[in-house]
Amino acid sequence: MQSRLGLRDRLRVLAGYRVPLRDGVRMHGHLRVVHQDGTVLVDDHNDFVFAGLEALVDALQAAAYINAYKYVGFGTGTGVTEDADTALETELSGGTYARLTATQGEGDNARTYRLSGTWTNNSSSDPAVVTEYGVFSAATVGTMLTRYSTADPSPPGSKTVAVGETITITWDMALADA
C-alpha cells in the first residue's frame, strides 16, 4: 500500500513530530480612536500590509530594531487599504503636524502589542477630517506596518479634529497561531 502522506507530512513523521503542523503566525490589528468629546471615531479591525510584515521578519532577525514600530501617522486619504500599500494615501505632515510617538506595551495579554497615546492638532488651521491611520517604523518616512482607512468595510463616522483638539489612540496588534 502506497503512503498518501505528502512530503511535508512524511518529513514530520520522520522527525518524530506529534503535533499538527502550523501554517505560521497570524496578526490581527484593532484600532480605537476617541475624540476628546468622547465620540468614538474608529473601533474596528485593520489590515497589515506586505511591506510591514516583511519588515517584521527582517526585524526578528535583528532584535535591536523590533521596537521601532511606535509611530502613528494620520491622513486624509479616501482609498481602501491594499496589501501593497507602503504609505498613507495623504498623510498630514509639515508645519506642526507630526506622527504620534506612541507608548508601547502589552495589551490584554502577552501576545498583544499595544500602541497608545494622544495626538493634538497643533496646526494653525483645522485639518480635513482624519480618515486614515498608519503605524510606521520612524517619525518620518519609515516602513508602514499596518494601515486603517475609514474607506475599509464598516467605517465608523468621521469628525474634524479642530486646532487644539485631541484624539486618543489605542492600537492592538495580536499575534496568534495560524
Residue 99 and residue 119: Cα distance in Å, rounded?
Answer: 8
What local confidence, expressed as pLDDT, does residue 151 receive? 81
Q: Which of 88, 92, 66, 67 lies closest to 148 in space, CA to CA?
A: 88
Model confidence over 56-94: pLDDT tens digits?
Answer: 767 756 666 678 889 999 988 889 889 899 999 999 877
Q: For the purposes of burial, counting CB atoms within 10 Å of the CB of 155, is it exposed (0-12), middle (13-18) or buried (19 or more)?
A: middle
Question: In whole angstroms, what separates CA 38 from the centre of its chain?
Answer: 23
pTM equals 0.73
Neighbours of 44 (CB within 10 A): 17
Q: Which of 113, 72, 114 lies closest to 92 in space, CA to CA?
A: 72
Model confidence over 147-160: pLDDT tens digits?
Answer: 998 887 665 556 78
- Rg, C-alpha atoms of the chain: 20
What local confidence, expressed as pLDDT, does residue 11 receive? 43
Question: For residue 65, what is its C-alpha cell?
Answer: 530594531
Which positions of the chain have pLDDT values less than 70?
A: 1-25, 57, 60-65, 95, 126-128, 153-158, 176-178
Per domain, the residue ranges of the chain are: 24-177
Q: Which of 2, 122, 137 lies closest to 67 in space, CA to CA?
A: 137
One-letter amino acid of 151 = A
